[in-house]
């Protein structure tokens, strides 16, 4: 079946560097994407979302880029901080199918070294 996946399962960066977490998706009908952050022992926390009619969306220290041609999504974190250490999941939804079925990717563990 179609799924959302990630290129890198782990990423280690130095504090202050920029981080880039990648995600590949295969469902060409997906039109809504979300990045979640999950810290140890906690539930996933919304970071930023993007709809398929956009290529880029910026938040506070985070930017999501969407390349529909190659079905690729990325999360950029500027000036990474130790508090950014967590597992990051991309998730996708095909609103033409069901608004409720959010499919999560495998996750990337981000470790920020002081």
Residues that bind another protein (CB under 8 A): 32, 34, 36, 41-46, 49, 89, 93, 95, 98-102, 104-107
- Quick one: tokens of 9? 């399962």
CB of 89: closest distance to another protein in angstroms? 6
For the stretch 31-63, what's the b/e string if a residue is b when 16 or more beta carbons lie within 10 angstroms of its beta carbon?
bebbbbbbeeeeebeebbbbebeeeeeeeeebb
Q: Which is nearer to another protein, 10 or 28 (CB)?
A: 10
CB 74, CB 42: distance < 8 Å: no
| Minimum separation from the CB atom of position 107 to another protein (A) | 6
In this complex, which beta carbon is closest to another protein, that of residue 68 or of residue 106?
106
């Amino acid at each position: 079946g179609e799924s959302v996946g990630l290129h890198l399962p782990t990423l280690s960066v130095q504090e202050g560097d920029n981080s880039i977490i990648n995600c590949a998706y295969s469902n060409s009908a997906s039109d809504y994407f979300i990045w979640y952050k999950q810290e140890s022992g906690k539930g996933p926390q919304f970071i930023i979302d993007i709809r398929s009619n956009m290529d880029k969306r910026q938040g506070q220290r985070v930017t999501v880029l969407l390349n529909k041609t190659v079905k690729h999504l990325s999360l950029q974190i500027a000036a990474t901080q130790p508090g950014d250490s967590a597992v990051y999941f991309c998730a996708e939804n095909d609103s033409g199918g069901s608004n409720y079925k959010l499919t999560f990717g495998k996750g990337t563990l981000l470790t920020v070294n002081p």
